[in-house]
A and B are shown apart, each in its own frame.
Chain A
Amino acid sequence: MRRGWVIDLEKCIGCRSCAVACKQHNAQPPGNWWATVETPGSKYHLTMPEQGRGYFLPVTCQHCKNAPCVKVCPVEATYKDKDGMVLVDFERCIGCRYCMSACPYGVRQFNWEDPKKTLGKLEYVENYSYGYPLNHRKEHNGVNRLVYMKTRFKGVVEKCVFCVHYYDNEGLDPACVRGCPGHARFVGDLEDPNSTVSQLIRDNEAFTLIPEKGTEPSCFYLPPSRKKKHMTEV
């Protein structure tokens, strides 16, 4: 089993619902985003670099097959799960940030201060915070790993957990997939040739981001077809 995504850029409308759903479900404090959506070529989201020719690019942890973050971690806090998910054990991470430096996708987030404190900067009712409430532990090589917790420790690294808590506990798809109004995101087993994701990849000239870095991402993108249409119109 190798869990992976397919993101159809033709269908993505740049609404950032996935980013917001991810942020809420996974309790990210202000300043911290596991999933983002940007407008390639433009400094401002939803502002096209050229009239009628833009598209949107959602990026989150690519759960790389050859993940540099896993290899550099000095304490094996970041590791690859048997289902191909790259997870961080919040109890083991020493906060050296080596993985942040090594990840070519800029998706790793550090808790520069106590997240409780950062959350306090939002004007909610006292002690309120959003997010999946329960700790999630997972066995890996005989060790119990804390791979999800609502309020993380100060000084540890975090990133997309592939919604491992929803996957293990309720068999649900990740929050970003469920939250996408355009149905642009798909999740499934990349090793199963008959899965939706595998078929989409095969039939649609799917590509990965910066393949020259050799990371072998588990996140595939389908190109927007607007360009093709543009060509036939001429």
Chain B
Amino acid sequence: MNKRRKYSLIIAFAIMLAGLFTYGYQLREGLIVTDMSNLFPWGLYVSALAFFVGNAAGGLVLSASVYMFGITKLKPFAKIGALTAFANVTAAMLIVIPDIGQPLRLWHILRYPQFSSPLAWDVFVLSAYAVLTIVYLYILMLPDLKGPGMKELSEKLAKRIAPIALVFAIGIHVVTAWIFSTQMGREWWFTAALAPDFLAVAVFVGTTVVLMASVLLYGIKDQYKEGYSILVKIITAMFFVHLFLMYNDFFIKAWYGAESATHVFNILMDSILIHIFEVLAPLLAIILLNSKVRNSVSGVVVSGVILMAGVFAHRFLIMPPAFNAIPLTIKPLGFIDTYWSYPIATGRYVEGVSTIADYWNYSPTWVEFTLLSGVIAYMYFVVALGVSILPVKKED
């Protein structure tokens, strides 16, 4: 293990510890130490769930490309793809734990699963996907672990498992999207475009994760350049599919111009800078990745980070226009021009401040940021440790 990686592992470990201690503090005080409220019951943690789930798509793209579409140029990256997928899908499960008010009761999901709840399905598909990625990684590593004689078996098993993994890989994005898009009360989410859009975002951000990890691991060598170029093509195409799905939905709602939709767009306007960022940052990254910048490791990593920051902004924006557009917004009887939201008790008692509100200017607290950093560090730690101790890198 080189020195740089060693230091980065130590730093990541320290951040994980900070996250853990902060979690202890949150456990003692309750979720009051976050900035969520009854009006705004989900915040950074659930946004981050969607973010990590998306990042986990890289494994899917690679296994599908290599073993179903026969794009052999991508084969060297299959293992790192599975590893990043595992790290991210487990990170997704980790980040929901601090969102749970009674974490010691989490086993209730296994003991009393409610059949109709998309959240219960999500727990199931996420766990299954985590297991599958690990099994898949193991199968790919067989020749390195057990000798070259296993090569054939490894190939055969990988081909068998790829379609199953694909179903679950698509499943995690679709089911995560359904958690939101089944809620008719939330105009911002209640659209059939959400699940395909989650999938599109996942494919381009997940592929970016694999690209970054591969470039860091293998460097920019001629024999990999074609593989990188294919990855960039996937990223570019799926980003535009995402833009299409998102703006297509906006367009239809804006065209009809129902008050409920205008209400949501007005609230989106409050976060317009974040919206501009979620579009322009990935766009910039994609322009960079399609230029000469791709020929330097740092160029790819910086572009990747910019892209992921944009996607994170996109995930953050899942919440404000959903929750600040209070569903119980009516035209009161006898008033023509009023569109009025019934205020909600915030659940947070602060002396001298009204507990009833119709808008919640959510801004995550240091506790939420520290916990999120802890899980990001965990994700990095798993990948970096994995490539250090496992034969993930294909020896050439």
* Chain A contact residues, CB within 8 Å of chain B: 29-33, 36, 38, 40-42, 49-50, 53, 55, 57, 59, 68, 71-77, 92-98, 100-106, 108-114, 118, 121, 153-157, 209-210, 213-214, 223-224, 227
The proximity string for B residues 165-177 relative to A, scoring 1 for CB distances below 8 Å and 0 otherwise, is 0000000000000
A-B contact pairs, 12 of them (CB 8 A): A31-B348, A40-B332, A40-B338, A57-B332, A59-B328, A73-B117, A92-B108, A95-B100, A96-B119, A97-B42, A101-B42, A121-B351
Nearest neighbor of B179 in chain A, beta-carbon distance: A98
Closest 9 CB pairs of A and B: A95-B101, A155-B101, A104-B185, A31-B349, A40-B332, A104-B327, A30-B349, A113-B30, A106-B344
With contact pairs A29-B349, A110-B347 given, residues A100 and B41 touching in the complex (Cβ less than 8 Å) = yes
| Chain B residue contacts of A156, Cβ below 8 A | 101-102
Is there contact, CB below 8 Å, between A110 and B41? yes
Is there contact, CB below 8 Å, between A49 and B335? yes
Determine how close the nearest CB of chain B comes to the CB of A94; give it in whole angstroms: 5
Q: Label chain B's interface by main secondary structure.
A: loop
Determine how close the nearest CB of chain B comes to the CB of A51; give it in whole angstroms: 13
Across the interface, B112 reaches (CB within 8 A) one of A41, A76, A96, A105, namely A76
Nearest neighbor of B319 in chain A, beta-carbon distance: A101
With contact pairs A75-B109, A106-B326 given, residues A112 and B30 touching in the complex (Cβ less than 8 Å) = yes
Is there contact, CB below 8 Å, between A50 and B335? yes
With contact pairs A55-B333, A74-B117, A227-B334 given, residues A95 and B344 touching in the complex (Cβ less than 8 Å) = no
| Chain A residue contacts of B10, Cβ below 8 A | none
With contact pairs A101-B186, A106-B327, A109-B38 given, residues A155 and B347 touching in the complex (Cβ less than 8 Å) = no
Across the interface, B346 reaches (CB within 8 A) one of A31, A93, A94, namely A31
Across the interface, B109 reaches (CB within 8 A) one of A32, A41, A74, A155, namely A74
Indicate the size class of the contact surface on chain B: 35 or more
| Chain A residue contacts of B328, Cβ below 8 A | 59, 104-106, 209-210
B82-96 residues with Cβ-Cβ distance < 8 A to A are: 96
Is there contact, CB below 8 Å, between B117 and A72? yes
Is there contact, CB below 8 Å, between A210 and B42? no
Across the interface, A75 reaches (CB within 8 A) one of B96, B112, B326, B347, namely B112
The verdict on B291 contacting chain A, using a C-beta distance below 8 Å, is: no
| Chain A residue contacts of B326, Cβ below 8 A | 106
Is there contact, CB below 8 Å, between A113 and B29? yes
Across the interface, A118 reaches (CB within 8 A) one of B120, B338, B349, namely B349
* Chain B contact residues, CB within 8 Å of chain A: 29-32, 36-39, 41-42, 96, 99-103, 105-106, 108-109, 111-114, 116-120, 123, 179, 182-186, 322-323, 326-328, 330, 332-335, 338, 340, 342-351, 355-356
With contact pairs A74-B123, A109-B345 given, residues A41 and B42 touching in the complex (Cβ less than 8 Å) = no
Is there contact, CB below 8 Å, between A213 and B184? yes
Across the interface, B38 reaches (CB within 8 A) one of A100, A121, A214, namely A100
| Chain B residue contacts of A110, Cβ below 8 A | 31, 38, 41, 101, 347
Is there contact, CB below 8 Å, between A98 and B102? no
Nearest neighbor of A72 in chain B, beta-carbon distance: B117
| Chain A residue contacts of B32, Cβ below 8 A | 112-113
Is there contact, CB below 8 Å, between A210 and B113? no
Across the interface, A32 reaches (CB within 8 A) one of B101, B119, B327, B345, namely B345
With contact pairs A29-B349, A113-B29 given, residues A214 and B184 touching in the complex (Cβ less than 8 Å) = yes
Is there contact, CB below 8 Å, between A213 and B185? yes
Determine how close the nearest CB of chain A comes to the CB of B330; give it in whole angstroms: 7
A231–B6 Cα gap in the complex (Å)? 80
A214–B99 Cα gap in the complex (Å)? 29
A72–B118 Cα gap in the complex (Å)? 7
Across the interface, A41 reaches (CB within 8 A) one of B31, B116, B118, B340, namely B340
Across the interface, B31 reaches (CB within 8 A) one of A32, A74, A102, A155, namely A155
Is there contact, CB below 8 Å, between A94 and B105? yes
With contact pairs A40-B330, A49-B335, A106-B327 given, residues A72 and B38 touching in the complex (Cβ less than 8 Å) = no
Determine how close the nearest CB of chain B comes to the CB of A99; give it in whole angstroms: 9
Determine how close the nearest CB of chain B comes to the CB of A54; give it in whole angstroms: 8
Nearest neighbor of A228 in chain B, beta-carbon distance: B334
Q: Which of A36, A102, A118 is the most central at the interface, judged by chain B CB atoms within 10 Å of its CB? A: A102
Across the interface, B113 reaches (CB within 8 A) one of A75, A102, A112, namely A75
Determine how close the nearest CB of chain B comes to the CB of A110; give it in whole angstroms: 5
Is there contact, CB below 8 Å, between A49 and B117? no
Nearest neighbor of A223 in chain B, beta-carbon distance: B333
Is there contact, CB below 8 Å, between B348 and A112? yes
Is there contact, CB below 8 Å, between B355 and A49? no
Is there contact, CB below 8 Å, between A95 and B102? yes
Determine how close the nearest CB of chain A comes to the CB of B349; give it in whole angstroms: 3
Across the interface, B332 reaches (CB within 8 A) one of A49, A101, A102, A104, namely A49
| Chain A residue contacts of B344, Cβ below 8 A | 106
Is there contact, CB below 8 Å, between B345 and A36? yes
Q: Which of B102, B108, B114, B343 is the most central at the interface, judged by chain A CB atoms within 10 Å of its CB? A: B102
Across the interface, A98 reaches (CB within 8 A) one of B30, B108, B119, B322, namely B119
A113–B327 Cα gap in the complex (Å)? 26
Q: Which of B30, B342, B347 is the most central at the interface, judged by chain A CB atoms within 10 Å of its CB? A: B347
| Chain A residue contacts of B105, Cβ below 8 A | 75, 92-95
Nearest neighbor of A121 in chain B, beta-carbon distance: B349
A57–B331 Cα gap in the complex (Å)? 12
Is there contact, CB below 8 Å, between B109 and A33? no
A98–B338 Cα gap in the complex (Å)? 30
Is there contact, CB below 8 Å, between B114 and A93? no
Is there contact, CB below 8 Å, between A31 and B342? no
Is there contact, CB below 8 Å, between B41 and A97? yes
